[in-house]
Amino acid sequence: MKEYFPALLFQRTFFAALLILYTVTVFAETKDIPTICQTDCKTPYGQVLGKDKSGVAGYSNCNSDCVIFEPNKHDGTYTGIKWQCVEYARRWLLVNKGVVYGDVDYAIDIWDKIEHYRNVQWDEKVPVTNHVNGSETAPKSGDLLIYAKMMFGGTGHVAVITEVDEKKGVVRVAEQNNLNQQWPSTHSREISLIKNGNQYWLLDGYLIGWKRADI
């Protein structure tokens, strides 16, 4: 029995050291997160909420009041402040379309201040168009849904249309910092789509319309 004691002691010491290292790491990471980003969280800050069909992950921002000015990058390209709605939309466009839009203070600014996207590979301008909710242009995958200032105390919101199901009469969107809940599938939520005459309507409060890149 004695000949196994050193090995057992080493094993216990090793696992104890691992536990201490894990505790210190978690404490350090938590300490860097402001209290507001640890309070009334729907899900813990930084937790993966889901991925759309292209594999772009959405992360929890805890709640809509949480802001940590930590930039995020994808393959060296700046995508925005973690884990804001503006960051997700820009990252989704980068991954799926190879384009990004410029800096904005708030999500609502994407509607009237962004006049073009930029092709990252060629550093060229990509034309964009705005289509108000109820327009004759049907929404499609890749469009950005822009919401009015009344959402989130004046900042608005942006989500990405990832699927359009005309048969079911819905569009599916991916986003960050809205519900901050686990996604039910490869989308964060569904929005009803109806056609009235030649007009297309998405039945979602405060929605201004959709922004489309000419790609």
Render pLDDT for 172-185 as a digit per residue (tens, 0 to 9). Answer: 999 999 999 999 99
Say how many Å lie between the first and final Cα of the chain, rounded.
73
Indicate which residue of 37, 62, 66, 85 is catalytic.
85
Tokens of 94: 């980068």
SS3 114: coil
pLDDT at 124: 98
Domain ranges in the chain are 33-213
SS3 128: strand
SS3 79: strand
Q: Which residues sit opposite 196 in a β-bridge?
A: 199
pLDDT at 46: 98
CATH topology of domain 33-213: endopeptidase fold (from Nostoc punctiforme) (3.90.1720)
Tokens of 157: 């919101």
pLDDT at 151: 82
Tokens of 73: 């990058």
Report the distance separating Cα 131 and Cα 212, nearest Å: 8
Q: Which residues of the chain have pLDDT under 70?
A: 1-31
pLDDT at 12: 52
Q: Taken in order 93, 97, 101, 107, is the CA torsion positive or negative?
A: negative
Would you say the pTM of this structure is higher than 0.75?
yes
85 is an active site residue: yes
